[in-house]
Amino acid sequence: MVSRANRSHLIHFATANLRKPGQPVPANLGPDPLRMARDLVRRGLDASALDVYRVGQNVAWQRWTEIAFGLTTDPQELHELLTLPFRSASEFIDATLAGLAAQMQLEYDELTRDVHAEHRRIVELILDGAPISRQSAEAKLGYPLDRSHTAAIIWYDDPDDNQNHLDHTARAFGRALGCPQPLIAVASAATRWVWVSDAATLDTDRIHQVLDHAPHARIAVGTTARGIDGFRRSHRDALATQRMLARLRSQQRLAFFADIHMIAVLTENPDSAADFITSTLGDLESASPQLLTTVLTYINEQCNASRAAHVLHTHRNTLLRRLETAQRLLPRPLDHTIIQVAVAISALQWRGSQTSDPVETPVEGITSPPPESLGRRRSRLAQLER
């Protein structure tokens, strides 16, 4: 293939000079060079492999120099024999390599689209429970299905963000979980479905580091489960997590299904969820994040004020004053509604910040309150919290 391409270039260059001596030689993008470019891409090589042409150029130029010096020793004639051909050959090779590099990129894009389309087709068959052989699916995906799987959905809210960055983030997520070659399926221009096999641990810090390098990306992570059924289940969990974030207009960039399972179920009906939060928390719903965190930490620490104060790095008396404020805001005594209050605050913390006008999300309709009434409530609550 290389020999045919080189021969094609030599013939093209010589013929062009015979027909139009001294004129620029157009790039040679004939069948043999293009076939070579296509073959290089199929072999997994990039445009740097085209440097082999430079080697051929150097060999040809050395031979031409020997011929020139064998024909004459006159400096003026040597100047004409060497300067013009050198410039012409260099420009010809530069133009040809630029054309071949562009063709290789087209071939690579086409190959990538084909691979992504095939991966998406196989993945959808698996998710739909179609009768597909595990061995066949593994061979086509290049991914083992008989192991444990941790699925994730990685997406940008803005579909115009760079898709290459999204693919890089998906691969970085796999590495963060100890899997250098995760399975990545292109769900849409701004969304990737990802599976990691035999994840070492769900290291939250490492995943946050991935997000630090991808400021526009968001990640929803499913549970870890084994086999093809686990492949499906983990993806369903990741999808439920993503939908909950969208439903609540949450600004959280990382969420695990294990952490939000109860909240996801509770908020499947946004109107009912909003009613539950309001009826359970009363005026506490509009309290400061600090006060809400204090109450939730107190409950999580089994209503032990000393332990809660230690977790929050605050004085016990300060914590008790905050709890007294919270109790005045709650419609019913905290001691009688501990579970309901914990669930309501957890759901509230996942919900996105309220906006000035009622807003509907693409997934479900969630309406925020008018700004005037909310502002008056927060002003009154701020006085109480002091």
Q: Quick: pLDDT tens for 50-77.
A: 776 777 777 777 887 888 888 888 888 8
Assign residue 230 the CATH number of its domain.
3.30.70.120
Mean of the per-residue pLDDT values of the chain: 82
100-109, 160-169, 358-367: which range is least confident on average?
358-367
> Pick from 364, 290, 349: which is nearest to 323 by CA?
290
What pLDDT is recorded for position 132?
86
Last residue of a domain, one of 264, 281, 314: 264
- Whether the per-residue pLDDT at 134 is higher than 60: the answer is yes
Output the CA torsion sign for 195, 199, 203, 205: negative
Please report where in the chains the tokens 């890089």 appear, as a residue: 168
Q: What are the pLDDT digits (tens) for 259-291? A: 888 888 888 888 888 889 999 999 999 999 999
Structural domain total, the chain: 3
Is pLDDT of 248 > 80?
yes
In a domain, 132, yes or no: no
Q: Are residues 56 and 20 in the same domain?
A: yes
Residues 61 and 150 placed together within one structural domain of the fold:
no
Which of these, 260, 266, 220, 259, lies nearest to 239 by C-alpha position? Answer: 220
pLDDT band at 355 (very low <50, low <70, confident <90, very high): very low
Residue 38 located in a structural domain: yes
Q: What pLDDT is recorded for position 40?
A: 72
Q: Which of 226, 260, 265, 256 lies closest to 349, judged by CA?
A: 260
Section 24-35 average pLDDT:
80
Residue 173 and residue 225 share a domain: yes
- Model confidence at 327: pLDDT above 90: yes
CA 366 – CA 30 distance, rounded (Å):
60
How far, in Å, CA of 71 to CA of 89, rounded?
Answer: 20
* Each residue's pLDDT tens digit, 75-124: 888 887 787 777 888 888 888 888 888 877 777 766 666 678 888 889 99
Q: Is 284 in the same domain as 380?
A: yes
Domain that holds residue 6: 2-112
Residues 73, 165: one domain? no
Q: Do 319 and 354 lie in a common domain?
A: yes
